[in-house]
Structure 1
Amino acid sequence: MARGKRWGQARSSRKGTFDPQDPHRVKHTRIGVWDLYEEINPDLENIPGSTWLEKVLEVYACLPYLVRMLKDILSIRSCWVLLLSYLTADFLNSLLPAASIWYSGQLISILQTAIDTRTVDKDLLFRVCLGRIACTLGRRVLNYSRQELRGPLSRRLKQQYSMHLFYARARLDLPTFEDPMVQRQLEDASSTSGSIAWDTLVMASGIVSTAIQVVSQVSVLARVLGAQQDGVLLAILSFSSSLSDWVTRWNVLANGQVWAATTKDKDYIRMVGLKHVVNHLEHRKELIAGNLSEFVTEEFKKLSQKVGPDNAVDFMELRRVSRTRQRFGFFTFLQDPLRELPQIVFTLRAVQYPASMPVSLASLNLLQQTTSQFSYTLWRFFEQTGSVTEQLATVRKLYDVAHIPNRIPDGTVPFPEDAQKIRNGVSLEFRNVSFRYPGSEQYALHDVSFKLEAGQLCVIVGANGSGKSTILKLVARLYDIEDGQILLDGHDIRTLRLHDLRQATCVLFQDYTHFPLSIRDNIALGDPTHFGDDDRVRRAAHLGGAEEFIDRLPDGFDTYLERPVRDYFSGIPEGTTTLFGRNIDYSNVRGAGGMAARSGPSLSGGQMQRLAVSRTFMRSVVSEDAKVGLLLFDEPSASLDPTAEHDLFARLRELRGNKTMVFSSHRFGNLTRHADLILYMNDSVIVEAGTHDELLKRQGEYARLWMLQAQAFL
């Protein structure tokens, strides 16, 4: 699929679906290996000029978003003076060409007077020359001022909308964020190389200033040349060439429709896939270990030759070529003849009126300079702007992402009712719960029921994929169940406020994450209310078993495991061993721009897991005022050695107090001996439930697996 701006520049405001297989509503075009589908509005299909009309309606639908953007820009206090200064400089700069033409017209008048009377008004000539120099200097100063204002103004707008996009992403729940269409929508709103607000401001300013230049230059030229024979005709002919170029190159309402592009060419898809295998770091280990480099290189070469050089390119490149071909029409043929007509008219006039040749020559020179300058202005404008519809649709997307509806609806009931009571744990009950992950037809949980009293310890065991982790995710309402009920202290969790529910629970997932922040910040995020409390962070690290190895790191708690900002350097001398306080493996440096400085120390899986456990302790144990009553641990010892696992479980039992605790694990250890309830799961259902002793007496599947694991240590 096409990416970024490439996928649907505007969202349709009409109800219904976009079905590429519907020939009545969607137009299909084949471009190379790509299939382009463009929406057709059946209500306007038979109306002459309906395509243009629909684009106008699309622009109209986007105008409220443009107004909102202008209000947001004006609400930035530090932007007022900068914005006003920039627009003033832009306005004055658009008037200078007309002023320069007026002074040139005065020179032509002086020339005419000199021819007629053989005299020259020296004072007027001096003032005109001075005025022309002033216009030149003024243009230089205004261009410099605009350039200086662009930086700080664009940076402020980028900062404003970076916060907007940060909020838009941060507010999304898990099912919504996982949706590929939502990811594409977020990507569309964030994918421009510069600020959308700045690009829109430049486009609006460019349109206004260009219009001012056209009107002012044409009016001044008409006044200057109006008294001369054929003067107005020469002006019209000179500008018509540039205007025809404008019409040919700039379609102000282009791409306003909903459209989509895809390719079904298997060879092209496979070729791009091989390119990803070679380019992306996550595939590098298997690429090298599997000795695949020669094979993928040869395969890529074959596919590239098979697809062909004209098709083995991105969709947008092919579409640009297609648009260029579409521009080759009536106006394209007119441009060159129109460019020659002023010279032809001047020659005919000179033959007919030889005495007026000097003035005519000066007028023609003025026209040629003006049209050349005007053509350059238009060229700059084309470079800065594309389609108004496209830009306004981008503005619309920018604001739409902040209102993407979450899939998990918020509840209204506050929780807990008694803040002190939650320290003694909460009861948890599943009643006939069934759930399937989005896009899957297989049940992750099917008709699951169990009850855990406040303060009890529950261990869920079973093979990978049996549904253990899913139970924990559903308790935290990362997803919502399809059938049944989940009760927390007797309340259906769907009725509870999401913030309160997640504040009352603490979860350590099997696929835990480490944020691209310092170790201190990684642990402190367990309890953001005490983010700056170093003593709490150190105590949490001690309880999680991470303090000892953290202190051995050169930067201690300030260590970054993954730096969010890359370093830049070039030409590192042979023998350099450190850079910016970090070690360098010089063998990895290959010429200018090589990146050799390590992003951080390499920690073992067990050490990384201890950091994650420390973050959990930061929230659930260290804070005396913590409102956590339910602790959920998903395979917390998966990367720990037996000694570390024993120590972790011992600390958890000692420190949890009366909190309710739920573990999931595929390993049976000393934790199950202390469990109030063990749930043995297989294939999304609970097969057995009870205490350790009860399940051993049943001689069922739990007992069989317990004995298998115990024999490994005999």
Structure 2
Amino acid sequence: MVRKYGRLSQRKGVFNPEDEKRVKHTRLGVWDLYEERNSTFERIPGSTRIEKFLEIKQNLPYVWQMLKDISSIKSCWLLLFYYAVVVFIRASIPAINLWFKGQLLTIVQVAVETRTVDKSVLFKTTLGIVTCKLATRIISHLKSRISNPLSARLKHHYAVHLYRARARLDVPTFDDPAVQAQLDAASHVGGKSVAWQTFLLVSNIASTAVQVVSLISVLWSVLKDQPDGKLLAGISAIHTIGEWVGDMQSGHPLRDGAWAATTTNQDFIRLQGLKKLVSFPEHRKEFVAGNLSSYTTQLFKMLTDRVGDEAADFWESMGTYRTMSRLKLSSFLGDSLSELPLIVFALRAVDHPASIPMSLASLQLITETTNSFSATLYRLVEQTGSIAEQLSLVRKLYDVLLISNKIPDGSQPFPENQEKVKTGIAIEFRDVSFRYPGSDNYALHEISFKLDAGQLCVIVGANGSGKSTILKLLVRLYDPLEGEILVNGRDIQSLKLEDLRETISVLFQDYTHFSLSIRDNIGMGDPRHADDEDRIRLAARLGGSEEYIERLPEGIDTYLEKPVTDHYNALPEGTQRLFGKSVDYSAVRRVSGMSATKSTGLSGGQMQRLAVSRTFMRSVVSEDSTVGLLLFDEPSASLDPTAEHDLFRRLRHLKGNKTMLFSSHRFGNLTRHADLILYMNDSRIIETGTHGELLKRDGEYARIWKLQAQAFL
């Protein structure tokens, strides 16, 4: 069993846990952790930082592209300017505050030496320190006020960018898991947009750099006249650096590089399965009916005793490993160095007792400021790794527009004569064979047939015989592995994809409905007229969906599944309906703040009529329709006999001069009127002919026809 965490990398190569030269193995309880060794800079101190800087350099052109894109967003540069000003001021405040504290230290020094205090200077210094605190609060508020609209504009701009990237992908490319992973990585980081997260990271690094430079300048001016100030600052800095080294030596072994973890402990694996068996609601009926309580409880206890203390999940084992590996020499050095400033202070107090108040104030200011400065500097160094990773995401954000489709576009326009398409399209399959990606079995094997323009072809056969695949190849969702498909005598792969699909109207067996209103679901059958309500209502009537649509509370504006849900929490159990919908209390119990049910209550037959209506919107409603080929894949599968008969009647009437391919596992009225029937079984065409010819042949078609006819006798 392999457990996966973290992110996927686009780096070339292979991660092989069995390669001992390139992969380090660590045993963590029941887990085996495999980490990629850094072979390029493995023995060079700070090698991971070098690699990060090299990675940053490679991705900088994509950041420049992002900046150019951001500049094209309306009013975005003005917001960026305001944001930069606010960030600069916010980064400068710690140094200003330090300067005022230095002035306060000078006042204390003068008071020790002269026993006098300049109250005016003390008041101004105190007021400056208080003002820095108030300014920090105000600047933080302004920063959030500016960041909200700025974030929204970046989010909207790149939402269009990602929509375009997804919309251009063909079916086999979109179904590729690697492509899906690439799209997910480019879409968001922890639910936030890549562009905004990148902007925040870059601005944070710039802010940290400003803070470091300003603190160094002010700290030097404050400490140069203080007794032993530079020495104390240096000791405090060395202590902090020692802690960094210790942290990096005992640090997180999974911070960088490729890694994987797995467990082969069968007892532990069975334990996890038993936990799911007793926890998941879908198993409860069989669990209770099978009387499994006593047996599984005893088995769980036995396995727990057998695995013992090692029965922990991966991250718990990881935490235990990190805790046990912290005792190193650098830890002892860090602990010793942390006490040196106090020792230096004590030694100075012995030699100069009168300066104790001054030395105590210096010690407090120096250690506090040095620790703050060191932490800021450490954060800047640490962020080089974060920015390298973030900039790699920026690269992915732009690379998604370069993903190559697996179905190549043709170069020839189609059709040559638009008026000729209205009289149908001729089709020919020549020895076509096809397998779906990842399958070893043929979906189509050596398929050959010819259909003249304007003819009706009915493809019949059992489910899985290959009927739907013929339709998918005609719209080039996939390309055949062998053979060729001709459209009006031309190789289908030579035609421009957009032109070809503009001449075809198709209803698939596994049709889908969009998370939009019924109006949009029908209207998108012909995007050119998607806002024409008269055409939409005519398509609904021709598809047989008009009657039940009118009975819905919101009519044609009803959403099949609302893409934006209502949220609620802690409702009284007596609340049965909310916002006109039934409340699903099981969802509330699973996750707080769930949404009300969204089902329209439509039957399978009604949903199928809606899909037919969308097809009619494209193929027969528009007088200026460019469609010459109609493809219907099991359009009556969910219809009752009366609705099926009515659909077939309308299809014959509305077909006109167009070419139609109709697939079905039921032999209905259309077969009697077909110019060509293809009887398929096991990915092959077994028989071809008209209805009368096939009955006279008394083969498989005739046998199945008679079997279905007997059901009505």
TM-score (norm 1): 0.89
Question: Residues 167 and 651 from structure 1, CA distance in 2 versus in 1: closer, same or farther, beyond 3 angstroms?
Answer: same
CA drift at 1:255: 5.0
Which residue is 1:117 aligned to? 114
Q: 2:291 and 2:237 mapped to 1: Cα distance? A: 59
Q: Secondary structure at the match of 2:562?
A: coil
Letter in 1 for 2:545: A
Question: Residues 23 and 231 from structure 1, CA distance in 2 versus in 1: closer, same or farther, beyond 3 angstroms?
Answer: same
CA drift at 1:101: 1.3
CA drift at 1:11: 1.7
CA drift at 1:613: 0.6
Matched residue count: 706
Q: 1:212 and 1:294 mapped to 2: Cα distance? A: 68
Output one character per residue of 1:265-288: Cα deviation in whole Å (capped at 9) or x when no partner.
6676777778889999xx95x875
Q: 2:619 and 2:475 mapped to 1: Cα distance? A: 15
Question: Residues 85 and 262 from structure 1, CA distance in 2 versus in 1: closer, same or farther, beyond 3 angstroms?
Answer: farther
Question: Residues 119 and 572 from structure 1, CA distance in 2 versus in 1: closer, same or farther, beyond 3 angstroms?
Answer: closer
The answer to whether the 8 A contact 1:256-1:393 is kept is no
Letter in 2 for 1:125: L
Unaligned regions of 5+ residues in structure 1, if any? none
1:489-568 alignment, distance < 5 Å: 489-568=488-567
Which residue is 2:227 aligned to? 229
1:362-373 alignment, distance < 5 Å: 362-371=361-370, 373=372
Letter in 2 for 1:176: T
Which residue is 2:101 aligned to? 104
1:312-331 alignment, distance < 5 Å: 313=313, 329-331=328-330
Q: 1:222 and 1:666 mapped to 2: Cα distance? A: 87
What is the aligned-residue RMSD (CA, Å)?
A: 3.5
Q: Secondary structure at the match of 2:199?
A: helix
Which residue is 1:450 aligned to? 449
The answer to whether the 8 A contact 1:253-1:388 is kept is no
Which residue is 2:194 aligned to? 196
Q: 1:218 and 1:647 mapped to 2: Cα distance? A: 85
1:6-155 alignment, distance < 5 Å: 6-8=6-8, 10-12=9-11, 16-29=13-26, 31=28, 37-39=34-36, 52-155=49-152
Q: 2:294 and 2:480 mapped to 1: Cα distance? A: 47
Q: 1:149 and 1:107 mapped to 2: Cα distance? A: 35
CA drift at 1:496: 0.9
Which residue is 2:211 aligned to? 213
Question: Residues 665 and 90 from structure 1, CA distance in 2 versus in 1: closer, same or farther, beyond 3 angstroms?
Answer: same
Q: 2:669 and 2:287 mapped to 1: Cα distance? A: 40
Q: 1:352 aligned to 2:360?
A: no
Which residue is 2:662 aligned to? 663
1:174-323 alignment, distance < 5 Å: 174-193=171-190, 194-246=192-244, 257-259=257-259, 284=282, 302=300, 305=304, 313=313
CA drift at 1:484: 0.6
Q: Secondary structure at the match of 2:182?
A: helix
Q: 1:410 aligned to 2:409?
A: yes
Q: 1:89 and 1:252 mapped to 2: Cα distance? A: 35
Output one character per residue of 1:646-670: Cα deviation in whole Å (capped at 9) or x when no partner.
1001101101111100011111111
1:159-170 alignment, distance < 5 Å: 159-170=156-167
Question: Residues 470 and 537 from structure 1, CA distance in 2 versus in 1: closer, same or farther, beyond 3 angstroms?
Answer: same
CA drift at 1:169: 1.8
Letter in 2 for 1:171: R
Question: Residues 27 and 470 from structure 1, CA distance in 2 versus in 1: closer, same or farther, beyond 3 angstroms?
Answer: farther
Question: Residues 121 and 297 from structure 1, CA distance in 2 versus in 1: closer, same or farther, beyond 3 angstroms?
Answer: farther
Q: 1:468 and 1:180 mapped to 2: Cα distance? A: 26
Q: 1:135 and 1:317 mapped to 2: Cα distance? A: 43
CA drift at 1:18: 4.7
Q: 1:385 and 1:52 mapped to 2: Cα distance? A: 7
The answer to whether the 8 A contact 1:6-1:316 is kept is no
Q: Secondary structure at the match of 1:516?
A: coil
Letter in 2 for 1:582: K
Q: 2:524 and 2:556 mapped to 1: Cα distance? A: 14
Output one character per residue of 1:574-625: Cα deviation in whole Å (capped at 9) or x when no partner.
5444322334467986599465732132111111100111111111111111
The answer to whether the 8 A contact 2:457-2:678 is kept is yes
Q: 2:412 and 2:96 mapped to 1: Cα distance? A: 70
The answer to whether the 8 A contact 1:242-1:374 is kept is no
Structure 1 window deviating more from structure 2 (580-589 vs 639-648): it is: 580-589
CA drift at 1:503: 1.1
CA drift at 1:172: 1.2
Q: 1:278 and 1:620 mapped to 2: Cα distance? A: 53
Q: 2:325 and 2:401 mapped to 1: Cα distance? A: 37
Q: 2:561 and 2:123 mapped to 1: Cα distance? A: 68
Q: 1:28 and 1:403 mapped to 2: Cα distance? A: 37
TM-score (norm 2): 0.89
The answer to whether the 8 A contact 2:424-2:628 is kept is yes
Q: 2:472 and 2:171 mapped to 1: Cα distance? A: 10
Q: 1:278 and 1:663 mapped to 2: Cα distance? A: 48
Output one character per residue of 1:82-141: Cα deviation in whole Å (capped at 9) or x when no partner.
222222212111111111111111222222223333333343333322322222222221
Question: Residues 591 and 492 from structure 1, CA distance in 2 versus in 1: closer, same or farther, beyond 3 angstroms?
Answer: closer
Structure 1 window deviating more from structure 2 (241-250 vs 665-674): it is: 241-250
CA drift at 1:525: 1.2
Q: 2:479 and 2:424 mapped to 1: Cα distance? A: 23
The answer to whether the 8 A contact 1:571-1:591 is kept is no
Q: Secondary structure at the match of 1:451?
A: strand
Q: Secondary structure at the match of 1:424?
A: coil
Letter in 1 for 2:209: A
Q: Secondary structure at the match of 2:437?
A: coil
